[in-house]
């Protein structure tokens, strides 16, 4: 049987982490979708081919279709260009582990993100200003789902991935923008050298 390295790693992760559901953020390069129940439908925020998140019909209230929460930090990466994988765990005490990451400019990184808590969390890459603005928006629309390639929203015990290319040096951030989480300190730093 001939399987790709990616299939092997996903299979290995699934067996090594029983009780975790898999969610993927593949943006425009999507090959898998999260497992959605029959009463949920995908929701698109300006990226037509994305299969990252699902949300129920009721979650659409108060949200403008086509709304994008992209970032000026780098760009969506291609899985075949990944130079390293970094595991990031999200915890209910409004913290990430690790909360500081250093990478080299020009690298494409796969963030393997796990929600270790009992409530929903997100992993969103951006500048400090972008994260602050998005966190304010989430206060008014707390059920907003996201499909942009720089973020993933995970239910308790779910895991998923974000592939991102960092093209220039600088200090950037990742945060959970669920209402109250960012303000409670759920933010981390990405230093690109």
H or E, element range at 163: strand 158-165
Mean pLDDT calculated for residue range 162-188: 95
- Residue 90's nearest CA partner among 17, 152, 146, 19 is 152
Least confident of 45-49, 89-93, 144-148, 166-170: 45-49
Q: How many independent structural domains does the chain possess?
A: 1
pLDDT digits (tens, 9 = 90+) for 94-117: 999 999 999 999 999 999 999 999
pLDDT digits (tens, 9 = 90+) for 41-83: 333 333 333 333 333 333 333 333 333 456 889 999 999 999 9
Tokens of 155: 């239910």
- No. of H helices and E strands in the chain? 2, 13
Q: What is the mean pLDDT of the chain?
A: 74
Q: Indicate which CATH number applies to the domain containing 135.
A: 2.60.40.420
The pLDDT, as a whole number, for residue 150 is 95
| Whether pLDDT at 4 is above 60 | no
Contact 47, 149 (CB under 8 A): yes
Is residue 107 in some structural domain?
Answer: yes
Question: CA-CA distance, 38 to 81, in Å (whole number)?
Answer: 34
Is residue 11 in some structural domain?
Answer: no
Question: CA-CA distance, 134 to 177, in Å (whole number)?
Answer: 7
Is residue 15 in some structural domain?
Answer: no
DSSP at 179: T
Is residue 75 in some structural domain?
Answer: yes
The pLDDT, as a whole number, for residue 138 is 79
Q: Which residue range is the domain that position 170 belongs to?
A: 21-29+70-193
- What pTM was estimated for this model as a whole? 0.68
């Amino acid at each position: 049987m001939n399987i790709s390295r990616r299939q092997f790693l996903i299979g290995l992760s699934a067996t090594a982490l029983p009780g975790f559901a898999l969610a993927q953020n593949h943006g425009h390069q999507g090959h898998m979708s999260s497992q959605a129940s029959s009463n949920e439908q995908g929701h698109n925020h300006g990226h037509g081919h994305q299969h990252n998140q699902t949300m129920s019909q009721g979650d659409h209230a108060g949200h403008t279709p086509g709304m994008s929460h992209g970032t000026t930090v780098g760009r969506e990466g291609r899985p075949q260009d990944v130079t390293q994988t970094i595991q990031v765990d999200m915890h209910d005490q409004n913290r990430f582990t690790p909360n500081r990451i250093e990478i080299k400019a020009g690298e494409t990184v796969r963030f393997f993100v796990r929600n270790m808590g009992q409530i929903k969390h997100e992993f969103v890459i951006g500048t400090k200003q972008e994260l602050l603005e998005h966190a304010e928006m989430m206060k008014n629309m707390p059920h907003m789902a996201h499909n942009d390639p720089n973020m993933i929203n995970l239910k308790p015990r779910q895991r998923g991935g974000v592939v991102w290319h960092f093209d220039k040096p600088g200090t950037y951030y990742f945060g959970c923008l669920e209402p109250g989480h960012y303000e409670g300190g759920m933010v981390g730093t990405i230093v690109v050298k």
